[in-house]
Amino acid sequence: MFCLLQIDCPLQTQGSMKKYLPVLSGVLHTIEKFGTPPHHTLMKIGVRSIMQTICLLLLSTSLLAGLDKPAPHPAATFPTNALIPVEIQGSVTDPAGEFLIGVNIQVKGTTRGAITDINGYFSIEAELQDSLIFSYIGYKTQTVPVDGRTQIHVVMEEDVSQLDEVIVVAYGTSTRGTYTGAATVIDSREIQDIPTTTFQNALVGKAPGVQVASSSGQAGATTSIRIRGIGSMNASNEPLYVVDGVPVNSGNTGQLSGYIYATNNVMNSINPSDIESITILKDAAASSLYGSRAANGVVLITTKKGKLGKPKFTLRSSVGFTPSWATDNYEPAGTQENVDMLYRVFHDYNTGRGISEADANADALRRLNVKFNQHGYFFETDGTALTEHVHIRGMTDGIVNREGQYFDWEDALFRTGVYQTNDISVSGGDESTRYYSSLSYTKDLNRIKINGYDRITGRVNLTQKIGRLVEFSSNINISSSDLTGFNDTRNLSSNYYLQTRNLLWGLYWPTDYKTGEPWTARYGSYGQNNIYYDNEWENSGKTLRLSANEALQVNILPGLHARTVFSYDNTRTKDHIYYSANHFNGSNSNGTVSEMTTTYSKLVSSTTLNYDQVFGAHRLGLLAGFEAEKNETDFQRSTGNDLPSSALHTVATAGELDANAYFWGNSIMSYLSRAEYSFDDRYYLSASFRRDGASKLGPDTRWGNFYSLSGAWRLDKESFLAQVNALSNLRLRASYGVNGTLPSPDFGWRSLTAYGISYMEQAGGGISTIADANLTWETNYTTNIGLDFGFFEERLSGSIEYFTRDSRDLLQSVPISRVTGFSSTLKNVGEINNRGLELSLGGDLIRTNLIRWGVQVNASFIRSEVTRLYRAEGEEEGADIIWYDPTGSDARAQYIFREGESTLAFYGYEWAGVDPENGNNRWFVNDPNDPTVGEFLIDGRGASYAWQDANYILIGDGIPKVFGGFGTDLEFKGITLGANFIYKIGGDLYDGASKDVVDDGYYWERIRAQYQYDNMWTAENPTRSLPRIEGFDPTDAIQFSSRNLYDASFLRLKNITLAYNLPLSLINRLGIDNTRIYFNGTNMLTFSKYKLADPEVNQYSTRGWETPYGKTFTFGIEIGF
């Protein structure tokens, strides 16, 4: 077509009109290919005719206007110069080999110029000793000597300073160099190779001030992000997620968590490959325009858009393997060691009561036999002492003799995890239409056999210009996923991971040694044969998300445009849970199946008017808008009991039916505005104001005002710094602003009577909450001061930010006298301050044409403190609030909110270690009135053997001193080697799980960890750190105490990536533009002071029985053509 046009159009060789040609032909080319249905021949012909007509018209117009006069030719002007101008042809690409369209080319010292065409080619007349200047937005301007060549290929280098890089911010865009707020931008390239179903997990260690923690290593689990500390007590600490300008739902969807505690992360519905960039808004200047939901920061996700140019197909495929966990995780001691420990417990139980050693030995062996004979083992000892090594013998009366063989439950319940993803995307566009379209399939099979996740996503992002004034864009995403999970909270009977560590003795086999039949009875009280039971239950959470985000922009006048966005986001999760009549959860009801559908719908309508104008050195930007949002969640459940056939797992077949259905929701209405002013690209000022009304609050308190003020000053542009050549950027920023957090419950301000508790098959109801009708917003007051700097043309750049954030009117579920009928009510109770310093520094240590070596580092020093707790009149101090880690609903760690203390202050007994004399636990009594109260003194402090005598005190702090990440990347001849580390220094980690596996003898049925075997006090090893295990008078010594507190510091090689771009010379012959093969290793190395389990823990700095992280090896290929 293009060739045809060149032949058909007589313009191509003539004078100044020539420069329009590439553009015209490009447009033509594109329209032909994409602006019309591709197979519509009639249209093709039509377009071609139109374009040819346009060519002719242009030609005739230019002839008539006399424009076609050849420009004065240097050679002609200065004939004395012997050099003759020649036609130089060439092409321009980016570093990845992508051809660049519209690059400006100018002959140095002249006004002559050209631009690259749709294919990235140019031709220009210059003399052989001239130099050509290549410039392009976002790339470094290059001067290339012609040097006698007539063919020149130029690779543009990206502008490292990136000061002009466009970044997505609240309700618009800005550039890095002019933005007055605190924001971190994460490019898609930083997350592309990481094997994860959600982009959230790929953010760990990437942005200063941002902490990312996954709720579990289960496939499909939710992830938590904390931006600049903890700004809330009871309300959400999660940031607001905004996709393509519209707030979206985040967190867990579906109801499985109510049954088996597997979470289903709705963010999984966004394919990480579709993401162009992520902007994390941190200070009030950046986020206050999102008002009442912005207090915990905002994560703006921008999906990919088509770029001008020919269609680009990208195929990506990767496969990852997780053969092991990233660290040890409460590794159990061997079967022999566990039998010896249990023998010790039983023996002690007898001798502790004064029974003779011989009788104690006999009783201990009897108890072992009672427990394990049925599994094919019996026990003998050589002597009768407590320390005997127990011989484990095989019973010979069955069909197998199991002597010397123990069953490997880990092997039976775990596997090598496999993560696979396949993406295809097509993008492109022309002047009026741009499109990006993708399809992706991902499958994530967790190391724990029953946990798996798969997902299909499809996306179409389309932008269409209609006439000169109107632009319409439509982003449509469809995602369908299927999750099968399991309970990975501290649930003894259904957490398989916990079972392998705590309940499943190697002496337990899945079959009966006498008959070979599957073993169906419980082992002890809780452990069971899941090899059998896995066929007797099933669960799935199928999520279908459809989101349509339609935007219309009208450019009313130059600099003035109106934009309206209408978004409908519908997420439907259909949960299925089934237990057969053979399963212990279904046996009572002769099989049970539940189907639950939870549909979240969110409608957002946002209309803004934007004015942006430059008056000389002054630039003014104004924004005003209105936004309304309606959220509704619709829930339905149907349950069938008494299932007639084990083959039919449907409610329809059930003998007995039960159902429930209701809905809930909330609405928000907002007015927003912003003014920005800058002078001479040196001084910047910005102010924003938003007024929000929310249904989550009562009529008297539901409207709130949120605002921000900010400014920036480019010091390097001042004359007093102009001489400092090394300095390429020095910018001081400051902001102050107010934003808020809404309560989590939809109806927290209403005192309610709840229904749905029927009795005798008649409706029943009861008072379900006593509320504070004056509940109001949590309000954040944030100050931010930032210094951005860059040296050596931004080869080295970084920033330092200081922030302080006061959160007031914090919402907290406050304990109330239970005589009222309730244990708590939601109230505004206090204030928290988060303040800190964030540093980031990056640069290229080596940068030559051959090799580039870059390093980046970031560090966050954040203090988070409860500054005030509201008090009753006349009270001196606000009452402490004791609270528990909500993760997994097992209250694994106890905290206290106390004025002047950290927001993650662990509260418990102070463990004084083991008494080397007798191996007993010792506890500091910590009597508030007399520090010497106790059974005995340790270093002058009162202590006791009984925790019951001790008082709770502050025992630790979950907030680290510093955390962050650092990385390095090396590029050499198409090979890229990158490594990203994350680290945390200081702070305490509370181990809420070791109580199960490092038990002093309280629980007779459980197996114990190797850690305990190696560290328990014995008469022979009296200096070990853990107490002796005992059977007599055991008390549950694993209280909330410093015994479970560890140093949380760790360093982890989170990701290492090796990638290779195949040489263009090789692949271009195959018609391929670029091919990249890569390897990614996740969680490859971990250095930690805490050895029991994975130190990368949740946002409360606790470890429980959630599935740990794996060590994943991923191999991938990306092909573009």
Contact between 605 and other proteins (CB under 8 A)? yes
How far apart are CB 637 and other proteins at their closest, in Å?
12
Q: In the set 324, 401, 783, 1035, which binds other proteins (CB under 8 A)?
A: 1035
How far apart are CB 348 and other proteins at their closest, in Å?
10
Task: Tell which positions 747-786 bind other proteins, by CB under 8 A.
Answer: 747, 750-772
Token pair in block for residue 627: 């936004």
- Give the nearer residue to other proteins in terms of CB position, either 693 or 913: 693
Q: How far apart are CA 1049 and CA 893, in angstroms?
A: 18
Q: How far apart are CA 826 and CA 813, in angstroms?
A: 4
Q: How far apart are CA 56 and CA 62, in angstroms?
A: 10
How far apart are CB 687 and other proteins at their closest, in Å?
23
DSSP string, 815-839: E--GGGT-SEEEEEEEEEEEEEEEE
How far apart are CB 921 and other proteins at their closest, in Å?
14
Interface size with other proteins, residues (CB under 8 A): 100
- Give the nearer residue to other proteins in terms of CB position, either 15 or 699: 699
Contact between 568 and other proteins (CB under 8 A)? no
Question: Which helix or strand (DSSP H or E) is residue 337 part of?
Answer: helix 335-351
Q: In the set 613, 948, 1018, 1025, which binds other proteins (CB under 8 A)?
A: 948
Q: How many residues does the chain have?
A: 1121
Task: Tell which positions 505-524 bind other proteins, by CB under 8 A.
Answer: 520-522
Task: Tell which positions 668-697 bind other proteins, by CB under 8 A.
Answer: 668-669, 693-695
Query: Which residue, among 194, 164, 177, has the nearest Cα to 275 in the 3D structure?
Result: 194
Task: Tell which positions 613-642 bind other proteins, by CB under 8 A.
Answer: 626, 628, 630, 641-642
DSSP SS3 for 149? coil
Contact between 746 and other proteins (CB under 8 A)? yes
Q: In the set 43, 562, 622, 985, which binds other proteins (CB under 8 A)?
A: 562
How far apart are CB 518 and other proteins at their closest, in Å?
12
Contacting residues for 764 by C-beta, under 8 A, at least 6 apart: 755, 756, 757, 758
Token pair in block for residue 50: 């139109």
- Give the nearer residue to other proteins in terms of CB position, either 150 or 774: 774
- Give the nearer residue to other proteins in terms of CB position, either 791 or 1002: 1002
Contacting residues for 1042 by C-beta, under 8 A, at least 6 apart: 906, 908, 909, 910, 911, 955, 956
Q: In the set 1034, 1108, 1110, 1116, which binds other proteins (CB under 8 A)?
A: 1034
Query: Which residue, among 895, 790, 794, 769, has the nearest Cα to 847 in the 3D structure?
Result: 794
Residue 619 has a CB neighbour count (10 Å cut-off) of 17
Contact between 42 and other proteins (CB under 8 A)? no
Token pair in block for residue 820: 């009222």
Name 936's bridge partners: 943
- Give the nearer residue to other proteins in terms of CB position, either 145 or 766: 766
How far apart are CB 108 and other proteins at their closest, in Å?
44
How far apart are CB 964 and other proteins at their closest, in Å?
37
- Give the nearer residue to other proteins in terms of CB position, either 746 or 969: 746
Q: How far apart are CA 33 and CA 252, in angstroms?
A: 42
Binding mask 131-150 for other proteins (x = CB under 8 A): --------------------
Calculate the CA 934 to chain-centre distance.
48
Alpha-carbon dihedral 724, 725, 727, 728, rounded to 10 degrees: 140
How far apart are CB 752 and other proteins at their closest, in Å?
4
How far apart are CB 524 and other proteins at their closest, in Å?
9
Task: Tell which positions 167-196 bind other proteins, by CB under 8 A.
Answer: none
How far apart are CB 317 and other proteins at their closest, in Å?
40
Print burial letters for 1049-1068: b (CB count within 10 Å at least 16), e (below 16): bbbbbbbbbbbebbebeebe
Query: Do 230 and 1115 form a contact (C-beta atoms < 8 A)?
Result: no
Task: Tell which positions 479-498 bind other proteins, by CB under 8 A.
Answer: 493
Query: Do 133 and 141 form a contact (C-beta atoms < 8 A)?
Result: yes
How far apart are CB 266 and other proteins at their closest, in Å?
21
Pick the piece of the chain touching other proteins (CB under 8 A) from 101-109, 510-518, 654-662, 801-809.
654-662
Pick the piece of the chain touching other proteins (CB under 8 A) from 30-38, 204-212, 285-293, 879-887.
879-887
Task: Tell which positions 793-832 bind other proteins, by CB under 8 A.
Answer: 814-823, 825, 827
How far apart are CB 946 and other proteins at their closest, in Å?
11
DSSP state at residue 33: I
Contacting residues for 258 by C-beta, under 8 A, at least 6 apart: none
Distances (CA, A) of 58 to 4, 53, 124, 793: 18, 9, 21, 43
DSSP SS3 for 141? coil
Pick the piece of the chain touching other proteins (CB under 8 A) from 45-53, 108-116, 466-474, 973-981.
466-474
Query: Do 1043 and 911 form a contact (C-beta atoms < 8 A)?
Result: yes
Task: Tell which positions 979-1008 bind other proteins, by CB under 8 A.
Answer: 1002-1005
Contact between 51 and other proteins (CB under 8 A)? no
Pairing between strand 298-303 and 240-243?
parallel
How far apart are CB 592 and other proteins at their closest, in Å?
9
Q: In the set 1036, 1087, 1089, 1091, which binds other proteins (CB under 8 A)?
A: 1036
